[in-house]
Structure 1
C-alpha cells in the first residue's frame, strides 16, 4: 500500500488540515486585497473591511481539499460538491453521442448544483482515459434550471474506463459563473476522483449514468466530489430516503 492509499479499517495518521488554495484563485484574491487596502487608506475603513471579507471569501471559494476516493471500478463517484437537485431520464447531449461514445438512448442524469459556498474543483467520476472534451459557449441562466443543460455555457467530458464503461458529464456555467477552466484534454489518463477542472462562481454538473444503472443518491442529498458514490455500474435498484 502506497502512502496515498487509505485502508477502510484501523487507524492512520489522518488529521484535519486547512485545505490548500488552487492557484487559479490567487490572482482574484490579490486584486481584492489590493482594492481593500486602497479602501482602508484612501476611502473608508468600513469599505476596507467589506473588501477584506470578500478577499477571504474568494480564498474559500478556490479551496482545494484532499479527497479520498474508493478504488472500485464499478463505483461512479460524484464529480462535484453540491446539492442533488435533479434526477431524470433523458437522452445524453449530442456532443457525447456517437461511435466510441455514448448511445443515444435515454439514461439517468444526476444534476449537482454548486452554490458559491461550495468547493468548485470538479473531479472524474471514474478512472480511465479522457475520450472527449467539448466546450460550447452559451447563456448564463440560473444553473438550477433544467434548460441550463442546453442553453448555458458548458463543457462536456467523456471518460472511458479500462473495462470499456463510458461516463459522460457536463460542467455548466451558472448565473454568476463566467468561465469553465479545464485541467484535462483528450488522451489524458486519469484516476477516479482526479481533478479535471473548475467552474468559477456558482454552477452545476450533470452526470449521465450507464444504461441499467440507478443512482445511489437522493434528491436533496449533498455530495462530496471524489468521495460520494453516485451509482454502482449495473446496479439498477432504486432507493428511497427521508429528509430530517
Structure 2
C-alpha cells in the first residue's frame, strides 16, 4: 500500500477537489469528445505527479553509530573538501545530494545523536545545482552530534521550485538514524558536512536511497 507524507495531506486533498471539478466542467462545456478525453488525461496525470511526489515509502534502517546514511533519495552531485563557515568555521568534507521532482522528498536523519543546532535561513530560490545555492537560497542548517562520529551538519536547500522547507529538528532533541527529519516540497538538494578523514562510500553521479544507503563511515 502506498503511504503519503503528512506534509502532503492538504495539497493532495485540494488537488483531488480541483481535479474532480475540472473533469466535470470539461464534460459540461466542451462538446468535442477527443478533446474532453485529452484534457481529462492531462488532469489525471497531474494528480498522479502530485501523489508520487508526496509518497513516503517505509525504509528499514540498520542502526549503526559509525555510519552516515543518505538523508534523502537523489543523485550525488558534490564530494569535496570545503570551508564550512556557519557553524564549524573549519574544513569539512561536503557531500551534496540533488533531488529531482520525481524523487522521494522525505528528509531522514543521517545518524543518531543529539541536535546541537537548528536554524532557518530565508533566501533566494536559485536552481539547486547553482554553486551559491548552499549559502544564498532559503535553507535550514542542522547539526547532530554522537560519540562515535562526532558532529555532522546538514542543510536542506530550497531550489527554483521548492518554496517550502519543513524541518522537525529542535536543539536538544535526541534523534534516531533513519527517522523523519523533515520534507522539502518540489525538488531541491541536501548538503552534508562530515569530519575530515571520514571514509566516503559514494562517488559523483551515484544515485542514493535515503534512510538505507550508507554514504560514509568512520
How far 1:71 sits from its partner (Å)?
2.0
- Which TM-score applies when normalising by structure 2? 0.91
How far 1:162 sits from its partner (Å)?
3.8
1:129 aligned onto 2:114: yes
State the match for 1:25 in structure 2: 8
CA distance, structure 1, for counterparts of residue 20 and residue 56 of structure 2: 26
State the match for 1:89 in structure 2: 81
Counterpart among 46, 50, 53 of residue 54 in structure 1: 46
Gaps of 5+ in 2: 31-35
State the match for 2:91 in structure 1: 106
Q: Does the 8 A contact of 1:33 with 1:52 survive in 2?
A: no
CA distance, structure 1, for counterparts of residue 39 and residue 166 of structure 2: 31
How far 1:24 sits from its partner (Å)?
1.4
More helix by share: 2
CA distance, structure 2, for counterparts of residue 232 and residue 163 of structure 1: 10
**Higher mean C-alpha displacement, 48-57 vs 79-88:** 48-57
Superposition pairs for residues 179-218 of structure 1, below 5 Å?
179-218=164-203
Structure 1 vs Structure 2 CA RMSD: 1.4
Three-state SS of the structure 2 residue aligned to 1:150 is helix
The structure 1 segments of at least 4 consecutive aligned residues displaced by more than 3 Å after TM superposition are none
Gaps of 5+ in 1: 1-17, 234-244
Three-state SS of the structure 2 residue aligned to 1:19 is coil
State the match for 1:68 in structure 2: 60
CA-to-aligned-CA distance 1:179-204 (integer Å, 9 cap, x gap): 00112211111111111001000000
Q: Does the 8 A contact of 1:32 with 1:52 survive in 2?
A: no
How far 1:89 sits from its partner (Å)?
1.2
CA distance, structure 1, for counterparts of residue 39 and residue 168 of structure 2: 36
Three-state SS of the structure 2 residue aligned to 1:70 is coil
Corresponding residue pairs, total: 209
Q: Relative contact order (alpha carbons < 8 A, sep ≥ 6): 1 or 2 greater?
A: 2
Change in 2 beyond 3 A, CA 1:164/1:82: closer
How far 1:120 sits from its partner (Å)?
0.3
More strand by share: 2
Q: Does the 8 A contact of 1:37 with 1:48 survive in 2?
A: no
State the match for 2:72 in structure 1: 80
Three-state SS of the structure 1 residue aligned to 2:140 is strand
